[in-house]
Amino acid sequence: MATLSLTVKGIESLKPTASRQEFGDELVTGLYLIVQPSGAKSWAIRYRVNGKPKKHTIGPYPAVTLADARMLAKQGLSAVANGRDPSAEKKQAKREAAEGVKDDVRSVVDAYLERQAQKHLRKSSLRRVEGLLSNDVIAAWKGRSIKSITKRDVNELLDAAINRGARVTANRLLAVVRHFFNWCVQRDLIEKSPVAGIKAPTDEKSRDRTLNDEELGLAWKAADKLGWPFGPFVHLLILTGQRRDEVAGMRWSELDIASATWTIPRERAKNDNEHVVPLSPEAVAIIKDLPRMKDGEVDSPFVFTTTGKTPISGFSKAKEAMDKAISKPLKGEYEEEGAPSIPDWRLHDLRRTMASGMARLGAPVHVVEKLLNHTSGTFGGIVDVYQKHKYASEKREAAEAWGKHVANLLVTLQNKAT
């Protein structure tokens, strides 16, 4: 048995021989590519349970790509490390199928979420996966057998997302559906993934859009007109630079007004690291003025909520209302220059705007990254393992400088308008 640094090109060049061949992957120990005399290729992992050697077939190549095989192998080997036996679990799934367990799309999605996604994904990622599977996959294929789904069905699913303007979401949907069907192959629920050979439907380019000072002022004033809860929510997006869902899900228990800090727990932070956010005086003033909503007879744990039970949502409608507030109610103030606007902007651009603005004010890039809770760039890889300095004082200085800049900006724009 040979061990190779497997690549797509190398796999394609492997030729069948008179006997069965196995090639171990140097990158993921325990993963093997099997080449049959017929030329058929498939993936498997080898491991031991109670000292006995075991083999678990992942799926055929190229239906299961090299990247997916490595991902599934890591998950399978992780299950072994936790005392589970993937091969036995697959046989159990096959027995359940033979006994008439439902194979409709909804039932299989529920099984995937319970047995795979909930065990391996962070809460924030799990919510996104559940949303895409529920709102797109189940909605489109409800009542159909998982075996009836074809490549054409998948392409039509992606086309529907693109047609409603969700071009980036279409790419995310493809990734989720690909992983879902690979799991179905692994569990022997289907023989071949209908996603095999489908490429990302849209090209993605990293956005570099930032708002200039005048645009940022317009966004702030438009948020003013939204009122509770989206007005102060957008203001805190601008002042803290944190992610939209992190701000929307803010809990009162995470806030320490006395020390002017907001601690985002690791289960809510995107990179799975607890994050302490210094709050500028401007941000503290906004939080102090927020109403405390009720959940029945008790105070709601959420800062931004309309029901008391869940955080706010409906961000697209709030953004549309802001755009209308920018172009219509403010028109009289800009009659000589024409109606104001903020072209091609998104709420997430406010985060990038803060990062750019703090750098412009003199904050070092590593401090900006720490303040935004980034693990890429300056603090990526091995640097992040050893560099544990929290930069608390530097982060606070940058946050307060940004808060003061925004406050001065609003005064300047107000004077200009009058």
User: What's residue 335's pLDDT?
Assistant: 39
Range in 20-24, 70-74, 124-128, 260-264 the model is least confident about: 124-128
User: What's residue 330's pLDDT?
Assistant: 41
pLDDT band for position 400 (cuts 50, 70, 90): very high
Beta strands in 81-226 (DSSP E): none
For residue 200, the one-letter residue type is: A
- Per DSSP bridges, beta strands 2-4 and 21-25 are parallel
Quote the distance between the C-alpha of residue 297 and its chain's center. Answer: 34
Residue 383 predicted with pLDDT over 70: no
pLDDT tens, 310-354? Answer: 999 999 899 999 998 887 544 444 433 445 678 889 999 999 999
Residue 388 predicted with pLDDT over 90: no
Where exactly are the structural domains of the chain?
A: 102-205, 213-417
For residue 261, the one-letter residue type is: T
238, with CB counted inside 10 A (0-12, 13-18, 19+), is buried
Domain 102-205 is classified in which CATH homologous superfamily?
A: Tyrosine recombinase, N-terminal domain (1.10.150.130)
Residue 60: what are its φ and ψ, rounded to 5°? Answer: -80, 150
Tell if the pTM clears 0.85, that is, is over it. no
- Give the percent of the chain with pLDDT over 70: 89
Task: Please determine, looking at this structure, whether the domain spanning 213-417 carries the CATH number 1.10.3720.10.
Answer: no
pLDDT tens, 224-249? Answer: 999 999 999 999 999 999 999 999 99
Is-contact 248 232, C-beta < 8 A?
no
Measure the CA–CA gap between 396 and 391, rounded to whole angstroms. 9
Write the CA distances from 289 to 106, 232, 242, 303, integer angstroms. 45, 9, 20, 11
| pLDDT, mean of residues 13-42 | 92
Residue 414 predicted with pLDDT over 50: yes
Mean pLDDT of the chain, nearest integer:
87
Residue of 72, 61, 73, 143 lying closest to 102 (CA atoms): 143
User: What's residue 386's pLDDT?
Assistant: 37
Residue 53's beta-bridge partner residues?
Answer: 48
Measure the CA–CA gap between 173 and 138, rounded to whole angstroms. 12
160, with CB counted inside 10 A (0-12, 13-18, 19+), is middle
